Amino acid sequence: MTLWNGSYPFYPGANACFPFDTTRAVIVTIFLSMLVTSIIILPGIRGRGRLFWFLRLVLGLSMGAVILTVQFTRDWETGWVQANTSYKSFSPVQVSADIGLHIGLAGVNVTLRGNPVNQINETINYNEHFPWNLGADYGRSYSQGLEKGLPSPILYVAEKFSAQSPCAVHRQYRIAGHYVSLALWLAFCTWLISILLFSMSILLYGGHMLLLTATLILLSLLLFSTTRNTLKCPIQFGSVSLRTGYGESFWLSLATGLLCLLLGLGIVILNSLQPEKLKLIFGLDKSSKEKMWDKSCPPAEPSCSAQDGLMVPLSEVCHVTATKL
């Protein structure tokens, strides 16, 4: 086999660029549409209840969007390294590239980006996904990558997470992803129930469901943290190694879980100590309207009393004489 334009002829010419995440785009579009629709009807709400209603709307939609979106993200754990490494097998040519590792609940992404992008007469910009979710075969995806002739750094990192690797992390991350995903789906269901209870003015039970939502989110983070251990065999590129840390999805989920916990505790505490203020926040305080009605129609005024309208002075009472038949 001989070189052809600096590369071996059995390698594909097209690069595997990162695909557009349509799932995340659909989720964000749905929640933004709901927010915009609610903002349009916002001027119809009078008084200070408008501010409380808008805050409840933004917080509720934000929590639901985060819980649903992190199910499909691929940055629960991320890491980057810049190294000089071999580009393809059976070739001594080395390139300077940024190598990224992105671990999600459903699989792992390996990124290879040249620095600069154009080197050795090629555009080095790859992002390959190797799934391990239910119904997916990680080994098959890795074999397909070998058949396509992917760059050596991508295959080297992907091999570390295969079931046959001595690193023994494939089963660990796969099981963790399944249980974390299940806990987040349950959290999304409890969030929906809390929104329904708040709309029905059942505030105490809505607060309890928020606490349950926070518990499920924090439990999912605990599951991901405890099953994530240091790799037994490091990912080494020459003198540098690729190290990973918690990604944006992990920290965003943590912030959402803590927010649900604070809101749930606040609702439960206010309901037991100052229920009137809680009703005021949710627009259920009708005592002020009743007081205004009582002041505008005091019982002493004859015009405001139904009984006073039926009372007649004694001087105007007609005397009725009875006649014997």
Residue 36 falls within a domain, yes or no? Answer: no
At 202, the amino acid letter reads: I
How high is the pLDDT of residue 5? Answer: 43
Residue 278 falls within a domain, yes or no? Answer: no
Residue 90 falls within a domain, yes or no? Answer: yes
Which alpha helices (H) appear in 70-169, and where do they start and end? Answer: 138-148, 152-160
Q: Which domain covers residue 115, as residue numbers?
A: 77-170
How high is the pLDDT of residue 188? Answer: 95
Residue 83 falls within a domain, yes or no? Answer: yes
Distance spanning both ends of the chain, measured CA to CA? 138
How high is the pLDDT of residue 260? Answer: 94
How high is the pLDDT of residue 48? Answer: 66
Can you tell me which residue has the tokens 């097998």?
89
Q: How many domains does the chain have?
A: 1
How many Å apart are CA 128 and CA 225, to the nearest integer?
25
How high is the pLDDT of residue 45? Answer: 67
How high is the pLDDT of residue 261? Answer: 95
Residue 101 falls within a domain, yes or no? Answer: yes
DSSP summary character for residue 99: E
Q: Which pTM value belongs to this model? A: 0.77
What is each CA distance from 319 to 144, 311, 313, 316, 324, in whole angstroms? 111, 17, 13, 9, 16
Residue 166 falls within a domain, yes or no? Answer: yes
The list of the chain residues with pLDDT below 70 reads 1-21, 43-49, 229-232, 285-325
Residue 311 falls within a domain, yes or no? Answer: no
Residue 16 falls within a domain, yes or no? Answer: no
